[in-house]
Structure 1
Amino acid sequence: MARRFRGSEEVKVDAKGRVSIPAKFRRVFEGSDPEWEAGKRPQLVIVFGTRDWKYLQLFTINAINEIDEQIAKLDRGSPRRNYLEHIYHGHSEETEIDGDGRLVLPQKLRDKIGLTDGAIFISGGDNLKVWSPEAYEEEERALEARVPELEPGADPLSLLSQPIATEG
């Protein structure tokens, strides 16, 4: 199984939009880029999503390839495929981590999520979400409200043993 992202980090954003990718996260990007080798720059894909997204998603090459394969299995022209292609192909950019371990976030993406001088990386297994500290604080407060079956103070792992609702 490929390495996964774990943890969170708050980093500075410089005037040129550069953010340092913590070493533990760089190792995952390197290990999940089939073409990476020592001395090369690890590749990744930034997905900026629809207008209501308040974050960016940084996907490893292996993860985005898996998503692309799943999208390709959907019926061509179907609403689901069109929507997913719109987000994961049309609202994304391929990029790389530079030799100093930094990622340049273009101005249009920083503006989209309100990123100024700081950013928060939140691990999501095969991706990292990049938030402005203010937007993440709001997200953190709203997170538990999205899981109504979790009683206050309950063990979050109890959600693993509950049946998953299917589309009707």
Structure 2
Amino acid sequence: MGRFLSNVTNRIDAKGRVSVPSLFRSVLTERGIQELYCLQDFAFPAISVGGPDLLERYERQIASMDAFSPEANAMSLLVHGGGVFMKLDAEGRLMVTDFMREFTNITTEVTFVGRADHFQLWQPEAFYEAQKAARTGRGFTAARPV
């Protein structure tokens, strides 16, 4: 398989942790990913999660630009300033941090969304609305939560 597919909504526990769905953990294991790079998505109110290769992909793009250009600086600001490394605990849970909550408006539940080579963390209703908009061809135009 090797790809993150489908979507699953899980509840955040009292300590602020959420269980990563087993099908996503299987892909992480298959790919040998132990450290997760978590990035505030560029287009959606979601956190993109992948292995170090996700960060490397963005860094290759930045490296292909003029290092002093506004575009390279803006992308670095988003990729480096809007990203963190995290690890799953022994039970396959991820801590839902303020970094994630403030950007996504996640409160009590998280929807995990497969995106082939990475997955995303969404506030469930925001994912539902984005998926509905994508199906109707309207695109996603909702503002990020403040």
Shared fold (TM-score greater than 0.5)? Answer: yes
Deviation at 1:79, TM superposition (A): 2.1
1:48 to 40, 53, 57: 40
Check if 1:69 corresponds to 2:68. no
Whole-angstrom distance in 1 between the partners of 2:68 and 2:27 = 34
* Contact 1:43/1:95 (<8 A) preserved: yes
> What value does the CA root-mean-square deviation take over the aligned residues?
2.2
* Contact 2:37/2:54 (<8 A) preserved: no
Higher relative contact order (CA 8 A, sep 6+): 2
Which one-letter code corresponds to 1:27 in the other structure?
S
Deviation at 1:139, TM superposition (A): 1.1
Gaps of 5+ in 1: 37-41, 148-168
Gaps of 5+ in 2: 141-146
Which one-letter code corresponds to 1:21 in the other structure?
V
Check if 1:137 corresponds to 2:136. no
Identity percentage of aligned residues: 27
Instruction: Rate the CA distance shift 1:53–1:140 in 2: closer, same or farther, 3 A.
Output: closer
Aligned to 2:66, the other structure's residue is in SS state coil
Deviation per residue, 1:137-163 (Å, 9 max, x gap): 22122222139xxxxxxxxxxxxxxxx
Instruction: Rate the CA distance shift 1:79–1:43 in 2: closer, same or farther, 3 A.
Output: same
Match of 2:15 in 1: 16
Instruction: Rate the CA distance shift 1:96–1:20 in 2: closer, same or farther, 3 A.
Output: same
- For these two proteins, the number of residue pairs brought into alignment is 138
Match of 1:164 in 2: none
Deviation at 1:123, TM superposition (A): 0.8
Whole-angstrom distance in 2 between the partners of 1:54 and 1:81 = 22
Which one-letter code corresponds to 2:108 in the other structure?
D
Aligned to 1:146, the other structure's residue is in SS state coil
TM-score (ref. length: structure 2): 0.82
Which one-letter code corresponds to 1:46 in the other structure?
C
Deviation at 1:112, TM superposition (A): 2.6
Whole-angstrom distance in 1 between the partners of 2:31 and 2:78 = 21
Instruction: Rate the CA distance shift 1:67–1:28 in 2: closer, same or farther, 3 A.
Output: farther
Whole-angstrom distance in 1 between the partners of 2:133 and 2:117 = 23
* Contact 2:4/2:115 (<8 A) preserved: yes
Instruction: Rate the CA distance shift 1:120–1:23 in 2: closer, same or farther, 3 A.
Output: same
Deviating more after overlay: 138-147 vs 6-15: 138-147
Deviation at 1:49, TM superposition (A): 4.3
Whole-angstrom distance in 2 between the partners of 1:49 and 1:6 = 18
